[in-house]
Structure 1
Amino acid sequence: MKIAILLVLTLSISLYGKDYTKNEQTIDFINAISKKHNFKKSYLNKLFSDVSFQKKPLKLYGGLKKKPKKEIKKTKKYIWHGSWDRYVKHKVTPKRIKQGVSFIKKHETSFNKVEKEYGVPSEYIAAIIGIETIYGKNVGNFPVFDTLTTLAFEKNRRNEFFKEQLEEFILLTYKDNIDPKSLKGSYAGAIGLGQFMPSSYKDYGVDFNNDGKINMFHPQDVIASIANYLEQHGWEANEEVATRVSYEGKRFQKYETGFRTKYDRKNLKAIKPKYGKWDYYDEVRLIKLSKRKYDELWYGAKNFYVITRYNNSSYYAMSIHQLAQKIKNELYTQTNSFASNQINTYTSQKNRDVID
C-alpha cells in the first residue's frame, strides 16, 4: 500500500504542476524576453506558473541519473552487426511507400509548384514527412511548451539550446495567436508534419498557401518549408544523392566512413559504383551500412550531406534516400500502368468500332 502511494506521489511530482516562476533561471528568462519582445510579465508568469514536468525528455538529454547498464556478454560474433537492418526495418516499408505515393498524389499541385520553385524532388520531401511523422499520423504527444521549459531550466547537456527554442516557441505562438499549452510535439519540442524545431520554423518556414500564417500542420506549408530548408542548406537541383558501390570483402574498414569525411573518387582504390556509370564527379562521402552478414557501402553526394542537415545521421539520410527512390519507382510504375491501360482501352474500342 505504501509503495502504491509513493508511486502515485512520484508520478504527480514528475508530471504535473511545477511552478517555474520560483526558479531563478526562469525569472531571468522572463525578465529578458519581456524586455526584448515587449511581453507582459503577467502573461509569462501565468504560462510558467503551472508546468507539467517532462521526465522522459529530460532523461533522454542526460538530465536525470541513469541506472548503470548491465554488462551484456557477447555470445555470437554477428550480434553486434546488423544495425542498419534494425534501423531501417520499420522505416522503409511497403506500407510507408504506399502512403508516400498517396500523399504526393493528394497534394500533387503543391508538390509540382514546390519542386519547380526550390528544385527539390517531391519524393524526397514526401520521404522526410513519412519518416518524421508517417505523413502526419504521429506528430508527437509531448506538450511542447512544458517540454521546452523542462529542458531549458532543468540541468542537462543542452540547456542553452532549449532556452533559445523556448523563446522562439513563445514568439511564434504569440504572433499567430495560438495557446502555447495547446501544441503537442516530439520529446525535443519539434512541431508538425516535418518536425521543425521552433528556430527552424522561424528561419525556414514558408506560408505557401498565403493565408498569412506558417502552419507546420498544413501540408502546403510543410511541403514548401522542407524544400526551403533543404535548398537553403545547399541542395543542388538535378544532382545525384547516393549510389551503392562495390569493394573487396564483406566488412569494410579501409577508409573512414560517414557524412563528415569527403573523398576524391580517384583516390578510392578498388571502390566503384555497383550498377555501372554514376554521373557525379564532385567529392563523395563513404556511407557504410552494417548488415548482419556484410557491410553495404555507398557513395554519398553533396545532396546526401544536405539531408543530414535535417537530421545529423548517415542512417537517417540513407533511409530518406531509399524511401524516396522507392516512392519514385512506385509512382512511375503506377503512371505507366495507368497509361498502358488507357491505350489498351482506346485500342480495344477502336477494334470494336472496326468490327462493328
Structure 2
Amino acid sequence: MISRLAVFLVSLLVTLPVTATPQAEIQKLPSRLAKSTGLPQSEIAGWFDRVSYQKKIIDAITRPSEGLPWYRYKKIFLNKRRIDGGVAFWKKHRKDLESAEKQYGVPAEIIVAIIGVETQYGHNKGRWSALDSLATLAVGYPRRSKFFYSELVQLVRLAKEEKLSPVQLKSSYAGALGLPQFMPSSYRAYAVDFNADGQRDLLNSEADAIGSVANYFARHGWKKNAPVVARAKIKSKAGLKLVNKKLKPSMTLAQLAQKGIKPLVNMPQTEKATVLGYDEKTRKNYQLGFKNFYVITRYNTSRNYAMAAWLLAQELKKRMG
C-alpha cells in the first residue's frame, strides 16, 4: 500500500507544471527583445550576462512614497535642503533656464523644481542597473509587466541610438534615467540636445536636462501664464463627492459653483478645473487644479507629486525674487 502511494505521489509531481523562477524568466528576455527590436540576440544576450532579478525593486515599487499622507509626503520636498539646492542650481544655470523659458514657455521655477523633486538637482540619479530594474519589473511585477517590458525595449533602442552602454546605465528602481528621471520612452520622445554638442545627454548634462524638461511640459500642453491651482471652499455634500475623482479638469468654475465649490480668488467662470483634497494634520486642504496642474501630472500621475513640485517651484521663485 505504501509503495503504491509513493508511486502515485511521484507521478503527480512529475505531471505538475513547474513554475519558472524570475531569474529563469529574465534569461528568456534576450530572445524576446531581439524579436522586438531587430537587434542580434547574441548582442543582447551579452548585455544580460550580469542581469539579475532584484526582489528589493519589487518591494520598493509596492510601497512608493506617493502613498504617504500629504502632510508627511510634502516634508520630503518642501525643506531647507531642497530649497537651498534649487536656488544654487538656478543661479548656476540661469542662462540655460532663461533660454528654455523663452523657447518653450515653461517657467524656470517649474523646470528647477521638477529636477529637484526627481534627483535633488542631479545628486541622486539612481543606483540600480537600468537593465536589472526593467527586467525585474517586466517578469516580476504582473500588474504592469507589459509596460515595463515595453520600456525595456525602449531602453535597448535608446542605447543604440545614443551610443550608450546598456550595462553601465544607472536608473531608479523603476528604470527612470538621468537628472530628470525620464523613462526610456520619454527619453527617446522628449529629450533635446539643448547645449548643441551633438548628443541628448540626460545622464550628465544639466543643460540638456533643463531643455528636455521644458520640452516635455510644452509638448504636454503647458500654457504660459495660465493658472495652476487655487485654494477652494466646498459648501455641499455634492461638492465633496467630486474631491480627488479626476485628474483632468472637466468642469467649468460655473458648473463647480452649482455644486457648492468656489475658488477663494476671482477667476473666469469658463476656466475648467478638477477638485483636489490634501490631508493636513488637523484639516483638509481643498484646491482646484487647472490644465497646467494636469500637465504636471503627465510627468508623474500622483496628485501629491504634482502639488509638491508646484509648491517647491513657488518657494524657489520667492527666494530668487
TM-score (norm 2): 0.83
Check if 1:242 corresponds to 2:229. yes
- Confirm or deny: 8 A CA contact 2:105 2:218 kept in the other structure: yes
Shift of 1:132: 0.8
Partners of 1:199 and 1:294 lie apart in 2 by: 40
Q: Any residues of structure 2 matched to 1:93-104 within 5 Å, and which?
A: 93-104=79-90
User: Which stretch shifts more, 132-141 or 39-48?
Assistant: 39-48
CA 21–285 in structure 1, closer or farther in 2 if over 3 Å, else same: closer
Check if 1:27 corresponds to 2:31. yes
Alignment partner for residue 263 of structure 2, among 273, 276, 283?
Answer: 273
Q: Which has the larger radius of gyration?
A: 1
Partners of 1:141 and 1:160 lie apart in 2 by: 24
Letter in 1 for 2:247: F
Alignment partner for residue 209 of structure 2, among 205, 209, 222?
Answer: 222
Shift of 1:27: 2.1
Partners of 1:196 and 1:268 lie apart in 2 by: 35
Q: Any residues of structure 2 matched to 1:160-239 within 5 Å, and which?
A: 160-217=146-203, 218-239=205-226
- Confirm or deny: 8 A CA contact 2:176 2:182 kept in the other structure: yes
- Confirm or deny: 8 A CA contact 2:222 2:292 kept in the other structure: yes
Aligned residue-pair number: 292
Query: In structure 2, the residue corresponding to 1:244 is in which secondary structure?
Result: strand
- Confirm or deny: 8 A CA contact 2:249 2:294 kept in the other structure: no
Query: In structure 2, the residue corresponding to 1:211 is in which secondary structure?
Result: coil
Q: Percent identity, please.
A: 37
Match of residue 102 from structure 2:
116
Check if 1:263 corresponds to 2:251. yes
Match of residue 4 from structure 2:
none
- Confirm or deny: 8 A CA contact 1:61 1:156 kept in the other structure: no
Match of residue 15 from structure 2:
none
Q: Any residues of structure 2 matched to 1:1-356 within 5 Å, and which?
A: 22-23=27-28, 25-33=29-37, 36=38, 39-60=39-60, 83-154=69-140, 156-217=142-203, 218-248=205-235, 253-257=240-244, 258-260=246-248, 262-269=250-257, 270-274=260-264, 276-278=265-267, 281-332=270-321
Partners of 2:101 and 2:141 lie apart in 1 by: 42
Query: In structure 2, the residue corresponding to 1:259 is in which secondary structure?
Result: coil
- Confirm or deny: 8 A CA contact 1:288 1:298 kept in the other structure: yes
- Confirm or deny: 8 A CA contact 1:168 1:198 kept in the other structure: yes
Query: In structure 1, the residue corresponding to 2:310 is in which secondary structure?
Result: helix
CA 61–272 in structure 1, closer or farther in 2 if over 3 Å, else same: closer
Query: In structure 1, the residue corresponding to 2:286 is in which secondary structure?
Result: strand
Which structure 1 residue ranges, 5 or more long, are not aligned?
A: 1-13, 67-81, 333-356
Q: Deviations over 1:6-36 (max 9, x none)?
A: xxxxxxxx99xx576852x542332442xx2
Partners of 1:192 and 1:22 lie apart in 2 by: 26
Letter in 1 for 2:285: E
Partners of 1:280 and 1:194 lie apart in 2 by: 35
CA 53–21 in structure 1, closer or farther in 2 if over 3 Å, else same: closer
Letter in 1 for 2:169: L
Query: In structure 1, the residue corresponding to 2:142 is in which secondary structure?
Result: coil
Shift of 1:282: 1.5
CA 233–19 in structure 1, closer or farther in 2 if over 3 Å, else same: same
User: Which stretch shifts more, 122-131 or 47-56?
Assistant: 47-56
Partners of 1:83 and 1:147 lie apart in 2 by: 27
Partners of 1:30 and 1:197 lie apart in 2 by: 20
Partners of 1:124 and 1:300 lie apart in 2 by: 16
Match of residue 11 from structure 1:
none
Q: Deviations over 1:247-295 (max 9, x none)?
A: 449xx82533342452221133343333x33468411111111112111
- Confirm or deny: 8 A CA contact 1:110 1:220 kept in the other structure: yes
Partners of 1:169 and 1:106 lie apart in 2 by: 31
Shift of 1:184: 1.2
Query: In structure 2, the residue corresponding to 1:286 is in which secondary structure?
Result: strand
Partners of 2:189 and 2:165 lie apart in 1 by: 21
Q: Deviations over 1:315-353 (max 9, x none)?
A: 111111111111111111xxxxxxxxxxxxxxxxxxxxx
Shift of 1:168: 1.4
RMSD (Å) for aligned C-alpha atoms: 2.6
User: Which stretch shifts more, 169-178 or 211-220?
Assistant: 169-178
Partners of 2:27 and 2:88 lie apart in 1 by: 50
Partners of 2:69 and 2:269 lie apart in 1 by: 28
Partners of 2:297 and 2:26 lie apart in 1 by: 38
CA 133–206 in structure 1, closer or farther in 2 if over 3 Å, else same: same
Letter in 2 for 1:30: A
Which structure 2 residue ranges, 5 or more long, are not aligned?
A: 1-20
User: Which stretch shifts more, 167-176 or 291-300?
Assistant: 167-176
Query: In structure 2, the residue corresponding to 1:98 is in which secondary structure?
Result: helix
